[in-house]
């Protein structure tokens, strides 16, 4: 039976559930013009969540509810950054949502429910918790993608996302049921020990393959990346920015829980599979991004290549690699929110700022926006001394140390190829002439401008002093 | 006299084969009503396998909830999709053979199950519920509210998200719709409806000009 201790371990999640339900009720009884209050309350709810996660963090890993839930350092760092990046999403999304008459309370509550799903997923100690956390996250995401229900593109994206997501969940469940059949346990901790003693090693590896397919879908790694471009392009940008940030942290958490906590003893099997996924993602992501003209699609393919780099870290299958991959996931979450945040801040009613050509001559119209976008693009490309450079460096290093020299070389080559399309955006902003008769400027909302500037400058600051954050990433995997 | 364990094994394989065949039918049959009937058979055969494993509660729940309610609803929706009045009776005859086949397979499965049950033997290993001296349903309830309490509550949360999503995606608040307001209709007096006005009788004025050239005021 659960006792008080279990409840205390789960306090941040329980608090968020209660807060989300209260926000839902508040929204139902609130007039439309009072909704900005809901916006600020939601941000406050997330920030208090960060406080509860950090404040109540036990010194050692603890489990609750019969090992269903694990609260350790990995979960803590992932939760902190998931909550922070979601708070950033809320700040950037407000003017966009108001302009498009999508400023609904449900946007906030569904996003918070998705964050609860992320928190459950990264803390999972059992295959059932992994699955349920994932479903909570993805179901909320499907609804968010379809939020703009009068747009055909948005509905199409939602249907594609739903069908492929359901397929991926099915694959994951097949994998889990086979692993359960081979070992007789659902608990990840027991699975770790039972994996080597099973009498049915082939069934276990078969299950592992299915689980990797599921993980690949959720990460958006090639060849399971088909949904990413359409969903990124089709959903309202305010939703794209969420899907492109915090769920990536969740996908890393899921991969870590399943592959290391659960099937870490089988690492010689999954290392090569992940290496294949990584090479394909790097190739498809970087090469297809070159021909894109839509900024959101370009960033979608860029996501696929970034997930390839994240997999390079996981391929290491040791504390060093996990730390590098975690660092990469965090850097991508911050870069993704910044990149889509700028698109959101440049969009206004009737103008999405989706095409790369929309950015023509941005430097003459709004030099600060162009400068911010340039920093983000350089960081995504991995130009020193920005955050993205060190993240890439660390995962490449992890791959080399694991004996995957060829993989690191592939990664480096594709980083150079990728530089082209990021630089193209910078070229369009700085060297092309603005189109006559168009107007493009940053949103006048002070909070958006301030937080966006801070977010982008954080990429520079974290690039210059990445030591403390990486030290935190390393510590959680050592203890 | 057949060996009981062999009979159970045969039953298991038969149920499994029917499940797989019916599931294939769901995705290959071109006629949607046949596909739905095939899905009914899939669920029913799965329930039979669960009964073999002595998971009675799950099996009955599957039949009551999915076969009994969800699938019948599906069938209604599929049949209503393009309805033509004269085709209804014809459709009944057309779908009857498939329905009878599905029903016969179900009957066979039930008879096989009764056969297994009459042999009184544990089927798939030791049953933890029986070891604890509880019924299957009681055991399931205990497991759900103790060991699996957290997943159970997360599943409840997922249902909440489903409700919120369904409302936000389908509710349309239309403005300018005219509703009847029953309370006001009941409260109305005859005085509010009819006003008797007294006025002097009017003498019709003589037409000023020829018809067709009238100037309206």
pLDDT at B92 over 70: no
Residue A348 bridge partners (DSSP):
A351
Buried b (16+ CB within 10 A) or exposed e, A421-440: bbebbbebbbebebeeeeeb
Of residues A333, A334, A332, A361, the one with CA closest to residue A346: A361
- Model confidence at B88, pLDDT cuts 50, 70, 90, reads low
Q: For residue A120, what is the nearest residue in chain B, using CA coordinates? A: B154
Residues in contact with B20: Cβ distance below 8 Å, sequence separation at least 6, in sequence order: none
d(CA A468, CA A198): 41
Of residues A250, A373, A357, the one with CA closest to residue A307: A250
Of residues A148, A16, A153, A164, the one with CA closest to residue A82: A16
Do B67 and B43 meet the contact criterion of CB atoms below 8 Å apart?
Answer: yes
> What pLDDT does residue A461 have?
92
A317 vs B130, which has greater pLDDT?
Answer: A317
Instruction: Report the residue from B146, B149, B157 with minimal CB separation from A136.
Output: B157
ipTM: 0.90
For residue B81, what are its two tokens? 């999709």
Write out residues 140-159 of B within 8 Å (CB-CB) of A: 146-151, 154-155, 157-158
> What pLDDT does residue A439 have?
76
d(CA A299, CA A307): 12
CA torsion through residues B70, B72, B77, B81, sign: positive
Instruction: Report the residue from B148, B149, B158 with minimal CB separation from A136.
Output: B158
Residue-wise pLDDT for A368-389, tens only, equals 999 999 999 999 999 988 999 9
Convert chain A into a string of H (helix), E (strand) and C (coil). Answer: CCCHHHHHHCHHHHHHHHHHHHHHHHHHCCCHHHHHHHHHHHHHHHHHHHHHHHHCCCCCCEEECCCCEEECHHHHHHHHHHHHHHHHHHHHHHHHHHHCCCCCHHHHHHHHHHHHHHHHHHCECEHHHHHHHHHHHHHHHHHHHCCCCCCHHHHHHHHHHHHHHHHHHHHHHHHHHHHHHHHCCCEHHHHHHHHHHCCCHHHHHHHHHHHHHHHHHHHCCCCCCCHHHHHHHHCCHHHHHHHCCHHHHHHHHHHHHHHHHHCHHHHHHHHHHHHHHHHHHHHHHHHHHHCCCEHHHHHHHHHHHHHHHHHHHHHCCCHHHHHHHHHHHHHHHHHHHHHHHHHHHHCECCECCCEHHHHCCHHHHCHHHHHHHHHHHHHHHCCCCCHHHHHHHHHHHHHHHCCCHHHHHHHHHHHHHHHHHHHHHHHHHHHCCCCCCCCCCCCCCHHHHHHHHHHHHHHHHHHHCCHHHHHHHHHHHHC
Residue A70 bridge partners (DSSP):
A63
> A69 vs chain B: nearest CA distance in angstroms?
8
Of residues A240, A191, A233, A238, the one with CA closest to residue A211: A191
d(CA B173, CA A474): 52
> What pLDDT does residue B34 have?
85
Is A110 in contact with B161 (Cβ distance < 8 A)?
yes
CA torsion through residues A296, A372, A252, A57, sign: negative
pTM: predicted TM-score of the whole model, two decimal places? 0.87
Is A110 in contact with B155 (Cβ distance < 8 A)?
no
Residues in contact with A170: Cβ distance below 8 Å, sequence separation at least 6, in sequence order: none
- Model confidence at B91, pLDDT cuts 50, 70, 90, reads low
pLDDT at B116 over 80: no
> What pLDDT does residue B134 have?
80
d(CA A280, CA A250): 21
> What pLDDT does residue A295 have?
92
Listed ranges A123-137, A341-355, B109-123, B169-183; the one with the highest mean pLDDT: A123-137
CA dihedral A360, A366, A369, A371 (to 10 degrees): 80
Is A109 in contact with B164 (Cβ distance < 8 A)?
yes
Asked if the peptide bond before residue A223 counts as cis, ω within 30 degrees of 0, the response is yes
Contacts of B162 in chain A (CB under 8 A): 139
A66 φ, ψ (degrees, to nearest 5) = 60, 40
A294 φ, ψ (degrees, to nearest 5) = -95, 130
B80 touching A, CB under 8 A? no
Along chain A (479 residues), what's the average pLDDT of each consecutive run of 10 residues?
Answer: 83 95 92 89 96 90 90 94 96 91 91 96 94 96 91 91 93 94 90 86 91 93 91 93 94 94 88 94 94 93 95 92 95 94 88 86 89 94 91 94 93 93 92 81 84 93 91 87
d(CA A238, CA A145): 9
> What pLDDT does residue B87 have?
54
Instruction: Report the residue from B148, B154, B162 with minimal CB separation from A120.
Output: B154
> A249 vs chain B: nearest CA distance in angstroms?
20
């Amino acid at each position: 039976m659960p006792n008080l201790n279990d409840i205390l371990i789960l306090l941040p999640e329980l608090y968020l559930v209660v807060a989300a339900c209260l926000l839902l009720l508040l929204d139902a009884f609130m007039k439309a013009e009072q909704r900005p209050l809901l916006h600020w309350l939601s941000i406050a709810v997330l920030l208090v969540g960060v406080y509860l996660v950090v404040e109540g963090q036990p010194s050692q890993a603890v489990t609750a509810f019969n090992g269903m839930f694990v609260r350790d350092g990995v979960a803590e760092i992932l939760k902190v950054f998931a909550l922070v990046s979601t708070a950033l999403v809320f700040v950037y999304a407000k003017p966009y949502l108001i302009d498009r008459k999508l400023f609904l309370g449900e946007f906030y509550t569904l996003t918070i429910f998705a964050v609860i799903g992320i928190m459950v997923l990264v803390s999972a100690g059992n295959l059932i918790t992994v699955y349920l956390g994932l479903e909570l996250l993805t179901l909320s995401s499907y609804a968010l993608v379809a939020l703009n229900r009068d747009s055909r593109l948005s509905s199409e994206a939602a249907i594609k996302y739903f069908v492929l997501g359901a397929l991926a969940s099915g694959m994951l469940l097949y994998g889990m049921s086979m692993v359960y059949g081979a070992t007789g346990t659902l608990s990840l901790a027991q699975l770790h020990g039972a994996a080597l003693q099973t009498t049915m090693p082939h069934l276990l590896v078969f299950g592992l393959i299915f689980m990797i397919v599921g993980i690949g879908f959720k990460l958006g790694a090639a060849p399971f990346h088909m949904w990413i471009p359409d969903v990124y392009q089709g959903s309202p940008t305010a939703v794209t920015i969420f899907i492109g940030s915090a769920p990536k942290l969740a996908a890393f958490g899921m991969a870590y829980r399943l592959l290391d906590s659960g099937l870490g003893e089988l690492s010689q099997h999954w290392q090569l599979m992940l290496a294949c996924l990584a090479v394909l993602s790097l190739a498809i992501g970087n090469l297809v991004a070159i021909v894109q003209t839509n900024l959101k699609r370009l960033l979608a393919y860029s996501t696929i290549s970034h997930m390839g780099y994240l997999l390079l870290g996981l391929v290491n299958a040791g504390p060093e690699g996990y730390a590098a991959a975690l660092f990469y996931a965090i850097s991508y979450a911050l870069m993704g929110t910044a990149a889509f945040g700028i698109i959101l801040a440049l969009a206004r009613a009737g103008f999405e700022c989706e095409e790369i050509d929309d950015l023509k001559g941005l430097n003459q119209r709004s030099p600060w926006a162009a400068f911010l976008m340039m920093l983000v693009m350089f960081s995504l490309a991995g130009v020193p001394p920005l955050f993205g450079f060190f993240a890439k460096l660390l995962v490449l290093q992890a791959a080399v140390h694991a004996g995957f020299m060829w993989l690191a070389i592939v990664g480096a080559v594709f980083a150079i190829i990728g530089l082209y399309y990021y630089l193209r955006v910078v070229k369009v902003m700085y060297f092309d002439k603005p189109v006559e008769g168009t107007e493009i400027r940053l949103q006048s909302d002070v909070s958006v401008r301030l937080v966006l500037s801070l977010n982008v400058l954080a990429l520079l600051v974290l690039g210059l002093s990445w030591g403390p954050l990486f030290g935190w990433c390393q510590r959680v995997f050592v203890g | 006299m057949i060996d009981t364990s062999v009979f159970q094994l045969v039953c298991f394989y038969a149920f499994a084969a029917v499940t797989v065949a019916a599931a294939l039918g769901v995705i290959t049959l071109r006629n949607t009503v046949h596909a739905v009937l095939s899905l009914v058979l899939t669920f029913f055969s799965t329930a039979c396998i669960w009964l073999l494993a002595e998971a009675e509660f799950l099996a009955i729940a599957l039949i009551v909830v999915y076969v009994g309610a969800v699938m019948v609803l599906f069938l209604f929706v599929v049949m209503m999709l393009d309805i033509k009045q004269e085709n209804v009776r014809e459709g009944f005859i057309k779908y009857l053979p498939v329905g009878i086949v599905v029903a016969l397979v179900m009957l066979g499965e039930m008879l096989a199950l009764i056969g297994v049950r009459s042999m009184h033997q544990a089927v798939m290993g030791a049953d933890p519920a029986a070891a604890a001296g509880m019924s299957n349903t009681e055991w399931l309830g205990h497991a759900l509210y103790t060991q699996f309490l957290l997943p159970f509550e997360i599943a409840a949360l997922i249902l909440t998200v489903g409700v919120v999503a369904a409302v936000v995606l389908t509710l349309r608040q239309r403005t300018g719709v005219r509703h009847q307001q029953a309370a006001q209709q009941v409260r109305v007096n005859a005085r509010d409806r009819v006003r008797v006005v007294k006025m002097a009788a009017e003498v019709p004025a003589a037409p000023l000009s020829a018809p067709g050239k009238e100037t309206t005021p």
